[in-house]
Amino acid sequence: MILPKYTMGVGDRFGREGKAQLAALLRARKEGIDVSPVWNKSFREHSIIHTAPPSVRKAAAEAVEAMKWTHPYFVDADHINLKTVDVFIPSSNFFTLDVASAIGTEAEPAAIQAFVGKYSGCCGELHVEGLASPLVISTDLVDHVARKYLFAVQEAGRIYRHIEREKGTGRFVTEVSMDETMTPQTPSELLLILAAIADEGIPAQTIAPRFSGRFNKGVDYVGDVDQFAQEFEADVAVIQFACRRFMLPENLKLSVHSGSDKFRIYGPIRAMLKKTGAGLHLKTAGTTWLEEVVGLAEAGGDGLAIAKEVYTVAMGRFDELCGPYAEVINIDKNALPSVEQVAKWDSAAFVAALRHDQSVAGYNPNLRQLLHVGYKVAAEMGARYLDALDVYRENVAHNVEANLYERHVMRVFPGQVR
Ligand SMILES: [Zn+2]
């Protein structure tokens, strides 16, 4: 199973937006931009809103059928490990093997020695096409990578083989993710990690490293954009080099776990994809749930009332909702509007605060992050929330589609020559 060149991780927490998401991707195809969707919902999301992985497959299949989508699509077992993977196996064909928590655990001494022995041969200056200066690989670096990352890659191998036994070789796409960790991997480290992945026999088609900067949920990139651009460019070059040098799938590409809406880095990414011809998997999952709330607020009436209620309840349960996401949000509590203020808002005020348009005066990234992690509140509303999505379908679908098309797909993926 081959992952196409451009793919996008799209979330759909309540399973109602598949058609609107595909409408956005169909529009992009008309413009010569071919992006295939990968629906993802992590174990954490499933447990917070009490859903099970087969529901994602079902919603995806229904949307595909309704929209006559004839192109590839995937269902991602997102951020799984050996403990959580089993419930995802029947319904997923894409697996994000999350081994971040295994980083730093040392592998068996013999394995470390063997790795160091094998790769100290490539020590010195390594010329990588596409890099202005050569990578400098030292014995210390090889030793450091072996001690820090080898066990994590072995763990990825254990998860991969477990899935392979159940689903069969070549019947699913494998991603190795190391993004949910504190320290970014340098391009030289990435090269050696890819060597370890090849040695382990994992046919990874995407790799998600940790980039520098902050990728807070639902809001823009915080960090040095130039530094990110350099890192991204170097990683693309390293991946292309590693594919030729090691036995890795030739379509191996970077996966950017964006935490949604990293508009400041979209320009540099797009330029790099255009320049190098590299592929990309861009995960931007939570943005769709926020567009549901934008749509409800925009519609007014009960829709606006539900949007306000989600915010009011979320304010009252701030710690509980933010807790699981503490590492990936940064909310200035003093900059959150009070529940009383929000109660007086009309549609325009609520939409201005929530919709991700930084040029609008009322835009509030703190409110946006709180609502991003507040989907549990909507889940608890049950039928009331889901019925509102039906009643205000036009507003909701319009916002989901326009957001994905205008703010994401068209900004990050270059057109293709057919
Ligand atoms: Zn991630």
The list of the chain residues with pLDDT below 50 reads: none
For residue 175, what are the domain limits? 6-287+405-412
Closest CA to 6 of 30, 34, 46: 34
248 found inside a domain: yes
Q: Are residues 236 and 282 in the same domain?
A: yes
418 found inside a domain: no
Look at residue 286 in the predicted model and tell me its pLDDT.
85
Q: Are residues 205 and 312 in the same domain?
A: no
CA of 255 to the centre of ligand 1 (A): 9
Q: Are residues 204 and 256 in the same domain?
A: yes
CA of 197 to the centre of ligand 1 (A): 18
Q: Are residues 84 and 192 in the same domain?
A: yes
Q: Are residues 339 and 388 in the same domain?
A: yes
pLDDT per residue as tens digits for the range 306-343? 999 999 999 999 999 999 999 899 999 999 999 999 99
CA of 379 to the centre of ligand 1 (A): 22
Look at residue 417 in the predicted model and tell me its pLDDT.
63
CB atoms within 10 A of CB 323: 10
What is d(CA 281, CA 413) in angstroms, rounded to the nearest whole number?
A: 10
Closest CA to 296 of 228, 411, 374, 389: 389
Give the single-character DSSP code of 98. E
Question: From the CA atom positions of the chain, what is the Rg in Å?
Answer: 22
Look at residue 249 in the predicted model and tell me its pLDDT.
96
What is d(CA 315, CA 327) in angstroms, rounded to the nearest whole number?
A: 19
CA of 181 to the centre of ligand 1 (A): 10
1 found inside a domain: no
Q: Are residues 279 and 297 in the same domain?
A: no
Q: What is the CATH number of the domain that holds 234?
A: 3.20.20.380
Q: Are residues 29 and 122 in the same domain?
A: yes
CA of 42 to the centre of ligand 1 (A): 9
CA of 183 to the centre of ligand 1 (A): 14
CA of 315 to the centre of ligand 1 (A): 26
CA of 283 to the centre of ligand 1 (A): 8
Residues 177, 178, 181, 185, CA torsion sign: negative
CA of 248 to the centre of ligand 1 (A): 22
pLDDT per residue as tens digits for the range 31-47? 999 999 999 999 989 99
CA distances from 336 to 291, 312, 354 (A): 19, 11, 12
Q: Are residues 268 and 333 in the same domain?
A: no
Q: Are residues 109 and 255 in the same domain?
A: yes
Q: Judge whether 94 and 167 are in contact, CB under 8 Å.
A: no
Look at residue 10 in the predicted model and tell me its pLDDT.
96
Q: Are residues 180 and 301 in the same domain?
A: no
The number of folded domains in the chain is 2
Q: Are residues 386 and 254 in the same domain?
A: no
CA of 363 to the centre of ligand 1 (A): 26
What is d(CA 163, CA 309) in angstroms, rounded to the nearest whole number?
A: 42
Look at residue 295 in the predicted model and tell me its pLDDT.
98
CA of 45 to the centre of ligand 1 (A): 13
CA of 347 to the centre of ligand 1 (A): 33
Residues near 411 by Cβ (< 8 Å), separated by ≥ 6? 263, 266, 267, 270
3-state secondary structure (DSSP) of residue 222: strand
3-state secondary structure (DSSP) of residue 268: helix
242 found inside a domain: yes
Closest CA to 223 of 188, 258, 270, 272: 258
Q: Are residues 121 and 182 in the same domain?
A: yes
CA of 53 to the centre of ligand 1 (A): 18
CA of 263 to the centre of ligand 1 (A): 17
CA of 345 to the centre of ligand 1 (A): 34
